[in-house]
Structure 1
Amino acid sequence: MTRVAWIVLFGGLAGAKLHAEVLKHAPPGISYHVPKGILPTYSSKVVSVNHHVHQLRPVSTRHGFAMNLNSKSAASVLGIHQRHAGGFGYENITTTSAYGTQYAIEATWDGHPLSLLIDTGSSDTWAVSKDFHCIDYTGQFLPQSSCGFGEAYPDAFQYGRTDPPTHMFIQYGDGEIVTGPMGFSDITIGNITVKKQQVCLANTTYWFGNNYTSGLLGLAFPSLTNAYYGDSGTDHDYGSQVQYSPLFTSMVSQGLVDPLFSIAIDRNASSGMISFGGIAPAVGADFSRSATLDMIITNIIGVPATAFQYSFYTVIPDGWYFDSTMNTKKYPYIVDSGTTLNYLPPSLADAINAAFTPPAVYMWMYGAYFTSCDAIAPQVAVVLDGEKFYINPVDLIYRTMVDPLTGLCMTAIASGGSGPYILGDVFMQNALVVFDVGEAKMRFIPRPHY
């Protein structure tokens, strides 16, 4: 069994000043905060590869540019946000460029098998009920099949409704809406069963499904749960909101797992895995090297077309290395498995794309850069905690993403405008990512060759 000892270096006052300086210039409608760990002494423990490992199934499909938009990806949420709140960089994000693979996990809900989307940007766990109403954006009723769910949950809550009654209401990045009553059920993932977990059975949805998954499993913090007092799905202002323990927090509080989870995404979005309470046994991981950074939370707030608050796990890299050049300008970067490309500051994205042979050119209609499909990619690495995390050249050119007019292929480095910026699948395919909520740290292990 591989064991990894984490060495945590605390920056003290200097680190706090650095964070404050980097985070103080947030774009409109964006806020940052550094969360407190739920077990602040946890980092002294030795973390090992564990047996709570679960396969993630990719559920998006790609046919040239006809790829499903992942409305819960950081790129999609920021695109909607910037179209309402100002800023620039993601406003050109469309169904052709904000593509991203969604990942599903197999779960058992009170004994009924269901497939649920994994989402690190929200906290609620919900499944669609058998008698749900599918609606369009105007609220008009549609056939249930129009919402594109897999099998619906056929029963009621095993342990009944919450007391007093509560309901969930959440609105995602592109306006998708889910609401329904909340109650308590046993949720099992692999060999982990969370008893009497508060969940939602959605009875009204405006949803763009994949005809496979039946709901969603959120992995963000308790502060982002979307429960409100009352039976009605119409009363969901801040005054009626009530926080509760989401699924992963309950796993920890019930003593089922240690307070961290890790995600490994394989190349070409072919598969992935998530490990609760330990390190996923990812192929090609170089356990001799690692990086540890403070976990920062990016909040997308105050925009009607997004949730009341949508949040992403975020870090501040040391900089970028490319073509024998080191750029040490520091910015917050969201770590998001639902976004395909890496989104960087405009001047840095320009410089890296210019280092391709031949140089990549920006195509406004896609919001992305394109180069010859047989181009030579430069050496590119993001520097985390002093370690260079190289991106395999294979991942820097999407040879299946071809512009039909020019025959050029899309690169994996895009401009994120005013930010915040994103480390997407192209980064996560080259690293094992550990979300250590116990210590409020993000930890990374390189895996560029597999």
Structure 2
Amino acid sequence: MSLTSLLPIALTLLCVVPGHVANPAPHYPALSPPITRSPGGALPAAPYSVAFSKKVPRRKEKINALSALCGHSGSGNGAKPGSQITVPLAGSNFDSDYLVNITIGGQNFSLIIDSGSADTWVPQQGFQCFNLTGSPVPSATCNFGTTGFDVNMSKTFEPFPNVSFNITYGTSEFVAGPVGFDTVSVGGLEVSRQVVPIPNVAAWTGDGILSGIIGLAFPDETSVFNTTDPTTASTQNQIPYDPFFFTAVKQKKVEQPFFSVALNRPTPEQEEHDAYDPNLGILAFGGIADVPVLHNTSTTVSVQTFPSNATGADGKFFFYTIPIDSYNFPGSENVPEARNASLGNGTTILDTGTALNLIPGPVAAAYAAAFDPPAELTSAAGLTLYVAQCNASVPPFSVTIGGQAFSVDPRDQLLPVVIDEQGDVACVLGTQARGGPDISGDFHLLGDTFLHNVVTTFNPIDKEVTLTQRVAY
């Protein structure tokens, strides 16, 4: 049974941490002294809240690879009217991306919500489309869900002169071009003069619905540069700016500096048969997303700084990187990197833009061996994935963070994918190794496999993250 047709999805799932086209110096995490505490009181309800609420077709690179990827269904309980800003989240790529409706300069777009990047961008009308190897192709090939942002149709748009935008994502997709300022609104939360890149060059494999990305990471992860030529972008001419939520806080549009995400999983039937899924979760601004949670399971930890040799004021914040205490499953007591995750030689990023958990290799190998029958490591074209029988018994799995163990539902740990034209199906594990079975890797990721099971409340101003176990759904 060949896994060749799994390669497109594997590349998408395993390589999502953004990197700039200009190839800046790599970011390596330094473990700043963690703050670990239980909140003194309940997090406030969010005044702005929007649900993911659309169904969309799968993206082209997954047409022949993805049957029923880990997903985002069920229904979140919305906030009481007037109590919070809640944004509905939609499912894209057969629910491997979460979308939110957003308005820029009075024009509507559906954007991927991404805690692993910081720029909010949409393509400019008349953009040039390229394939992933850099060759020009018709604009329809990029398959955005828009013809592009029309600067002439916005009454509030202002150009940002003498700068450019340039970013390449781990999928090899890239966008570049000019930048402007405009009014941005998400779920009723509106900010003015937000920096908005409007690239006129794109290599993208869209689904006909998603139109860009809303990035929620830190200013130092933004990708605007002090040059009009995007190809000369570098760390030396980077101009960090305030991402959308930072702007909202500075403009005092929210009383509390929190945004909160609850990502739902769909049923396998929805993932396999529905190209357009409603009620896939909640994005809330100013407080916690209003979904059922287990009492007394919240913990708050500090976000860690980059790079590894930074100390004191030299430390910078890029992603929501947090310390992990341990990974827990049958047999984990025999794996030093599982008992003490700090031995894994890397910090961990909470990323809504990644479908899988990518953890230290020895931990992933031990977890794969705990399946019954055991999951097997399969290699294809230089990629390695743990694959199991779809009826395998899934061992329990939890991650201890800030002294609190957060369990992961077994349904998130076996992800069925079509592997050939005959319709044969294999199940990829939702928790994989980053760097191979014997390699710990320089950083790790907790993606949607983990995030389906918690409410994640980000406080980028105080540089903390609060996690709360969700009620099973």
TM-score, scaled to structure 1: 0.75
What residue number does 1:165 align with? 162
- CA shift digits 1:109-168 (9 cap, x unpaired): 111111122222222222112122223456543221111111222234644545653222
Q: Note if 1:313 corresponds to 2:339.
A: no
Structure 2 match to 1:107: 102
Task: Please say if 1:322 is aligned against 2:340.
Answer: no
Contact 2:160 2:179 in 1 (8 A): no
The farther-off stretch of 256-265 and 410-419 is 410-419
Counterpart of 1:278 (choices 287, 306, 315) is 287
Q: How far apart are residue 445 of structure 1 and its match?
A: 0.5
Structure 1 residues 313 and 196, CA, compared in 2 at 3 Å: closer, same or farther? same
CA displacement, residues 354-395 of structure 1 (integer Å, 9 cap, x when unaligned):
222222222223622233322222221111122221112222
Closer, same or farther in 2 for the Cα pair 1:317/1:144, shift >3 Å? Answer: same
Trace 1:136-215 onto structure 2 (pairs within 5 A).
Answer: 136-137=131-132, 139-151=134-146, 152-156=148-152, 158-162=155-159, 164-215=161-212
TM-score by length of 2: 0.72
Of the structure 1 ranges 316-325 and 210-219, higher mean CA displacement relative to structure 2 is found in 316-325
Q: Which residue of 1 aligns with 2:120?
A: 125
2:386 counterpart residue number: 369
Q: Does 1:116 align with 2:133?
A: no
Post-superposition shift, 1:194? Answer: 0.5
Given residue 241 of structure 2, which amino acid in structure 1 is its aligned partner?
Answer: Y
Letter in 2 for 1:350: A
Residue matched to 1:47 = 43
Please point out which of 447, 457, 461 is paired with 1:424.
Answer: 447
Displacement of 1:209 in angstroms is 1.8
Determine if the alignment matches structure 1 residue 217 to structure 2 residue 214: yes
Cα distance per residue 1:63-93 (max 9 Å; x no partner): 6733799xxxxxxxxxxxxxxxxxxxxxxxx
- The aligned counterpart of 1:444 is 467
Which residue identity is paired with 1:263? V
Letter in 2 for 1:281: D
Compute the displacement of 1:438 (Å): 2.4
Contact 2:332 2:367 in 1 (8 A): no
Residue in structure 2 matched with residue 92 of structure 1 by the alignment: none
Q: Superposed, which structure 2 residues align to 1:206-245 within 5 Å?
A: 206-245=203-242
Q: How does 1:24-63 map to 2 (within 5 A)?
A: 29-33=26-30, 47-56=43-52, 57=54, 61=58
Q: How far apart in 2 are the matches of 1:131 and 1:407?
A: 40
Contact 1:401–1:410 (Cα < 8 Å) also in 2:
no
Asked whether the 8 Å contact 1:391–1:448 carries over to 2, the reply is no
Instruction: Tell me if 1:433 matches 2:428.
Output: no
Distance 1:60 1:385, change over 3 A: farther
CA distance in 2, matches of 1:210, 1:68: 16
Aligned to 1:17: none
CA distance in 2, matches of 1:223, 1:99: 31
The residue aligned with 2:260 is 262
* 1:400-419 map, 5 Å: 400=417, 409-417=427-435, 418-419=440-441
Q: Aligned to 1:390, what secondary structure does the other structure show?
A: strand
Asked whether the 8 Å contact 2:371–2:394 carries over to 1, the reply is yes
Shift of the 227–406 alpha-carbon distance from structure 1 to 2, 3 Å rule, reads closer
Superposed CA deviations along residues 280-335 of structure 1, whole A, max 9, x for unmatched, are 112x42133112222125679xxxxxxxx995322121102212754422242222
- Given that residues 100 and 339 in structure 1 are in contact (C-alpha distance below 8 angstroms), is that contact kept between their aligned partners in structure 2? no
Alignment gaps of 5+ in structure 2:
1-24, 70-92, 272-276, 309-315
Contact 1:58 1:102 in 2 (8 A): no
Instruction: Give the whole-Å Cα distance in 2 for the aligned partners of 1:400 and 1:243.
Output: 39
Amino acid at match of 1:397: L
Distance 1:51 1:382, change over 3 A: same
Unaligned 5+ residue runs, structure 1?
Answer: 1-27, 38-42, 70-97, 301-308
Q: CA deviation at 1:250?
A: 0.3
Q: CA deviation at 1:424?
A: 1.7
| Identity percentage of aligned residues | 29
Which residue is 2:83 aligned to? Answer: none
Alpha-carbon distance, 1:175 to partner: 3.2
- The AA in structure 1 aligned to 2:374 is P
After superposition, the C-alpha distances for 1:195-216 in whole angstroms (9 at most, x for unaligned) are 1212122222222222112222
In the alignment, the residues of structure 1 paired with residue 63 and residue 200 of structure 2 have an alpha-carbon distance, to the nearest angstrom, of 33
For residue 365 of structure 2, give the secondary structure of its aligned residue in structure 1.
Answer: helix
Q: Does structure 2 retain, via aligned residues, the 8 Å contact 1:60–1:67?
A: no
Alpha-carbon separation, structure 2, partners of 1:416 and 1:99: 24
Give the counterpart of 1:291 among 299, 315, 320.
299
Q: 1:385 aligns with which of 402, 406, 410?
A: 402
Deviation sequence 1:264-285 (CA, Å, 0-9, x none): 1112486122111211112x42
Q: Is the 8 A contact 1:100 1:338 kept in 2?
A: no
SS in 2 for 1:168: strand
CA separation of 1:405 and 1:102: change in aligned 2, threshold 3 A: closer
Rounded to whole Å, the distance in 1 between the matches of 2:132 and 2:360 is 34
- For residues 130 and 331 of structure 2, the distance between their equivalents in structure 1, rounded to whole angstroms, comes to 54
Structure 2 equivalent of residue 65 of structure 1: 65
**Structure-2 change in CA distance of 1:345 and 1:145 (3 Å):** same
Contact persistence 1:433–1:442 (CA under 8 A): yes
Deviations 1:30-50 (A, max 9, x none): 41146899xxxxx77852222
Q: Give the AA of the match of 1:333.
A: T
**What amino acid does structure 2 have at the position aligned with 1:423?**
L
